[in-house]
Amino acid sequence: MKIAYLILAHDNHRHLQRLVEAISSPLSMCFIHIDQKSDLCLFSSIKGQNVVLSNRREAVYWGDFSMVEATLILIRQALADPRCFDRFVLLSGTDYPLRSVSYIESFFKHHPAVEFINLVQMPAETERKLMWRLTCRVIRSQDPLGVKLIKMFTNKLRIGIVPRHLNYKKCLGHLIPYAGDQWWALSREACQYIQTFVEKEPVITNFFKDTFCPDEMFFQIILGNSSFKPRIYRNITYMDWGDDINSEHPAWISEKHLDDIFGSNLFFKPSDWYGAGEMLFARKFSDEGEKLVFSIMQRIVERENHQAPIQI
């Protein structure tokens, strides 16, 4: 089971080094995209035989299509690699594994045909995936001033002066809108399907450039409307979004989070937004989280003891 880790990073370079070291294996490779706005010199220590820094760098903005563009860069790069990876795992530079490398590789070996990606049909209020994400034209940070003014005027028309909504169905056609979380672990076949879809459907791809948080819809809509849908299962990354429905970012991991995570036997409850399932990773950790990382390492040693992956 050869694994390609696709890592999106922009800060916390010391933690990124810890992440890379934790997931390194003869069977894995880390493909890393560093935000174009970040100082690449800070990441000069991120080296190794199993580390590839992407030469093509996007300026990535939160809630923007640039997130998708950076991810597609990594997908293309990993698919083109002659090592032919079986599993593609999308992580942020602030993630960290909750299991050993051997356990993670065994887990994916036991589930070769499962697509681990959170998915719900929109609108889904509980999961904070509402239709305005598809109908509200977003002003991108990198838009020229004239384009920004046009979008501002368009948005004002839609919020009350002259009620109007963008008809996403005109672009998406028969595609059912789905959403979920940004992070996933997909098979090689699913990533190949995504790459082919992007090449064949430029109009649909371009539509998402004006939507809000397309990184939480783009891949879900592609796979949710494909033959891969029956293979979809909840994602493997733990995040704490808190109780505030308007929260834009998950909480930083604390020792209390670790108590809860390991106290749950690293298993999402059936009552979780996306259902039950195993936790293999958690986010977010910072450069100052070295003690937390050490705590995780101790807990893994104490708990794992060659435990077999739970069957799905």
Q: What domains are there in the chain, each with its CATH number?
A: 3-123+178-303 (3.90.550), 132-172 (no CATH)
Q: What is the per-residue pLDDT for 155?
A: 54
What pLDDT tens digit does each residue of the chain (312 aa) get? Answer: 999 999 999 999 999 999 999 999 999 999 999 999 999 999 999 988 899 999 999 999 998 999 999 999 999 999 999 999 999 999 999 999 999 999 999 999 999 999 999 999 998 877 778 777 887 777 655 555 454 455 555 555 544 443 345 668 888 999 999 999 999 999 999 999 999 999 999 999 999 998 889 999 999 999 999 999 999 999 999 999 887 656 678 999 999 999 999 999 999 999 888 999 999 999 999 999 999 999 999 999 988 775 666 667
What pLDDT does 135 receive?
Answer: 79
28-34 vs 3-9, strand pairing mode: parallel
Do the bridges between strand 95-97 and strand 232-233 make them parallel or antiparallel, or are there none, so unpaired? unpaired
Separation CA 45–CA 51 (nearest Å): 11
**pTM of the full predicted structure?**
0.91
- pLDDT of the residue at 47: 83
What percent of the chain is helix, strand and coil (3-state, nearest 5)? 40, 15, 45
